[in-house]
A = this chain, B = another copy of it.
Amino acid sequence: MADAPLNRQILLVSRPEGEASVSNFKLVETPLAPLAEGQVRVRNHYLSLDPYMRGRMDDAKSYAPPQPLNEVMIGGTVGVVSESRNPKFAVGDSVVGMLGWQEYGTSDGTMLNQVDASRVPLSAYLGALGMPGVTAWYGLNGIIKPKTGETVVVSAASGAVGSVVGQLAKAAGCRAVGIAGGAEKCRYVVETLGFDACVDYKAGNLRADLKAAVPDGIDGYFENVGGEILNAVLARMNAFGRVAVCGMISGYDGKPLPLDAPRLILTQRLLLQGFIVYEHLDIWPQALKDLGERVATKKLLFRESIAEGLDKAPEALLGMLRGKNFGKQLVKLV
């Protein structure tokens, strides 16, 4: 009798104290159990790395329970079915799911969806045509509700979510302004993605540069980062401005930064709304249809940062939390 095939997995083995570190993770090899009736096995091709993961590493009150210690790290995945005892899935099917940081995922089919990898690359289902794209779509259309001629600002503008927000805002007739870290990302945001302006927060003149980029103030803000950027943007919000709070990445790692001037919420009659895209499943079909058409017709562009190999996932996650990625951060396994 042959040995059971081995699966390589990355576990979360400790919680960060302040900044997360690679030592919070551990790579293990585990035998793959035979499939039970109804189960399906997927060879993961790409892991999705996303800012929310930092929050799950803490044992803190949040919208989702913390990632349990000594279990496979959570995360979105795309891959191909390698074995199936579930009539809904056939070997060779391309599927998107939440199978976590491992080479092979085993599922009863829940939260596993077939996707068409013939027209767009499989990895797009973790970005513009996946959770990040729908997040952008919902925050913009469901909360900011941009009107022609308004100014919409988005932080982490070259990222998986931010890049979609700005392109959709531009398509809606708005002035689209990005905030990103570094001249190269800002050039990409303006020259390739077509934003009207981009502020490089690393250049050291955040408030002045932002002011110059939004001559008519800010009507909508899609928040991916928090901290000083949030404070700078709030100070320039117009009356009746809307803030879709999607991420507070600067609060994920280490000490959370306060919001300096909450009184602006009153004086400018602002709306701030936090949201989690998985709680708005009703809009996913509409959002994915719209995004799919834009991607297929090249009206919606995206970019990926790809780390090679499962063992690179922790380092790639930490890098993304520091803004080292450029576009959607993925880990390529196959």
Contacts and interface: CB of A to CB of B under 8 A. Distances in A.
Interface in A197-254: 226, 230, 239, 245-248, 251-252
B270 A266 contact: no
Contact of A247 (B61, B246, B266, B273): B266
20 contacts: A55-B267, A62-B267, A63-B266, A226-B262, A230-B262, A247-B266, A248-B263, A248-B266, A256-B260, A256-B261, A258-B261, A259-B259, A264-B274, A265-B272, A265-B273, A269-B273, A269-B276, A269-B279, A270-B273, A272-B272
A266 B279 contact: no
A142 to B, nearest CB: 12
Interface of A: 55, 60-63, 226, 230, 239, 245-248, 251-252, 256-276, 279
Nearest to A275: B269
Nearest to A239: B63
A262 B251 contact: yes
Contacts of A230: 262
Given A63-B239, A239-B63, A268 B274 contact: yes
Contacts of A246: 266
B274 A265 contact: yes
Q: Which of A248, A262, A264 has the most CB of B within 10 A?
A: A262
A282 B99 CA distance: 51
Contacts of A275: 269
A148 B112 CA distance: 37
